[in-house]
Amino acid sequence: MGMLPKRIDDHANVSGEMIREATDILHQHLRKVGLKHTGQRDTILLTFLETHDHLSTDELFRLVRKKDPKIGFTTVYRTLKLLAECGLASEVAFHDGIARYEHQYNRRSHHHMVCTECGSSVEFFSPEIEHLEKAVGKKHRYLTTRHTFQIYGVCEECRNKMGRQPSVSS
């Protein structure tokens, strides 16, 4: 299975200002956890922000190596974890068991519908789910900060290949 389809983004391209702000967020987090700012971490962040894919660590590693062949897999893996810790990335679990990441910097909350046959995914926005998060948080006295929501099913193309009729409930 190749890379999953492109994401829906509020901003088609990441601007220089957005890159500077994201870099500042990473650098502040590194100081907070007592780690050094390195050029390799900046290269990984920039490569990550430039893509619009749901990336596995392996996929990001291959992209990063094109820019700097000296960067090792472990550095990419650890940097992705740091990006997730400081809110620049989030882990997305699809049906294939491979952890994938997408950047969260300056993006509004979205959700995924994933085909359990071919692995394709569709991103969608839902104000109703956003309201539900806030209502549940309020009910249980939580200040909610984020949530994940994924729907699994079989896409139309796979249903057609399998000869299944669409079963859409209203």
Q: Which of 33-37, 92-96, 106-110, 115-119 has the highest mean pLDDT?
A: 33-37
pLDDT on residue 109: 66
pTM: 0.64
Confidence band for 62, pLDDT divided at 50, 70 and 90:
very high
Contact 68, 79 (CB under 8 A): no
Does pLDDT of 104 surpass 80?
Answer: no
Tell whether the model's pLDDT for residue 2 goes beyond 50: no
Indicate if the pLDDT at residue 162 is higher than 90.
no
Given a contact cutoff of 8 angstroms between Cβ atoms, the answer to whether 102 and 48 are in contact is no
Between 1.10.10.10, 3.10.20.30, 3.90.1150.10, 1.10.150.130, what CATH number should domain 12-107 receive? 1.10.10.10
Mean pLDDT of 97-104: 77
**Residue ranges per structural domain of the chain:** 12-107, 108-170
Mean pLDDT over residues 41-65, rounded? 91
The pLDDT, as a whole number, for residue 3 is 41
Residue 101 bridge partners (DSSP):
55, 91
Question: Is the Cβ–Cβ distance between 100 and 56 less than 8 Å?
Answer: yes
Report which of residues 122 and 109 the model is more confident about: 122
- Over residues 69-95, the mean pLDDT reads 88
pLDDT-based confidence at residue 136 (cuts at 50, 70, 90): very high
Domain 108-170 part of CATH 3.30.70.100: no
Task: Render pLDDT for 11-46 as a digit per residue (tens, 0 to 9).
Answer: 456 778 888 998 999 999 999 999 999 999 999 999
Average pLDDT, the chain: 81
Pairing of strands 150-153, 111-115: parallel
| pLDDT at position 27 | 95
**Distance of alpha carbon 81 from alpha carbon 116, whole angstroms:** 26
